[in-house]
Amino acid sequence: MSSWAGHLIKLARMESGLTQRELALRAGTSQPTIAAYESGRKEPSLATLKRIVRGAGLELRIRLAKYDDHDEWVRRYEERLPADARDRARRVDEELRETARAERGAAR
């Protein structure tokens, strides 16, 4: 299970075009450690995360924002839906994706 820090490290690598090994070298750590952070097997400290992100030529910026329970509320909303409504939503979701896929295929 990937963690937030793991996602951020992957994003930083994607942004900089570095391999795990290259980033590890620049951040003063090892490739297996970067791999473990990215996979969520290990969790870096904030100081380590900042150092790794800096190794990718980026800066970790943190800001405080008002707490928003929107995602939890949507999850509770989904849980309260009757099974048939959830099924319908799943079918609509699949149909929307399939249509987009077909259109992308046709445009090629």
Partner 1 sequence: MAKHDIRYVVIGGMAAVLHDVPVPRTFDFDITPKRSQVNETRLATALGEMGAKLRAPGLDEGFEIPLDGRAFKHMITMTFVTKYGPFDVSFRPDGTEGYEDLAREATTIQRFGVEIRVASVRDIIRSKAASGREKDAAHLLILRRFLAEHGE
Task: Give the end-to-end CA distance of the chain in Å, rounded to a whole number.
Answer: 35
| Contact stretch for partner 1 (CB under 8 A) within 19-27, 29-37, 48-56, 74-82 | 74-82
Residue with Cβ nearer partner 1 (28 or 85): 85
Residue with Cβ nearer partner 1 (11 or 46): 11
Q: Return d(Cα 84, Cα 81) in angstroms, integer.
A: 8
Residues 6, 37: contact at Cβ < 8 Å? yes
Residue with Cβ nearer partner 1 (47 or 62): 62
Residues 34, 23: contact at Cβ < 8 Å? yes
Whose tokens are 């490290």? That residue is 9
From candidates 45, 59, 84, 104, binder to partner 1 by CB under 8 A: 104
From candidates 2, 19, 30, 39, binder to partner 1 by CB under 8 A: 2
| Contact stretch for partner 1 (CB under 8 A) within 21-29, 43-51, 89-97 | 89-97
Q: Return d(Cα 35, Cα 14) in angstroms, integer.
A: 14
Write out the residues near partner 1 by the rule CB under 8 A.
Answer: 2, 4, 7-8, 10-11, 14, 61, 63, 65, 67-71, 73-74, 76-78, 89-90, 93, 96-101, 103-104
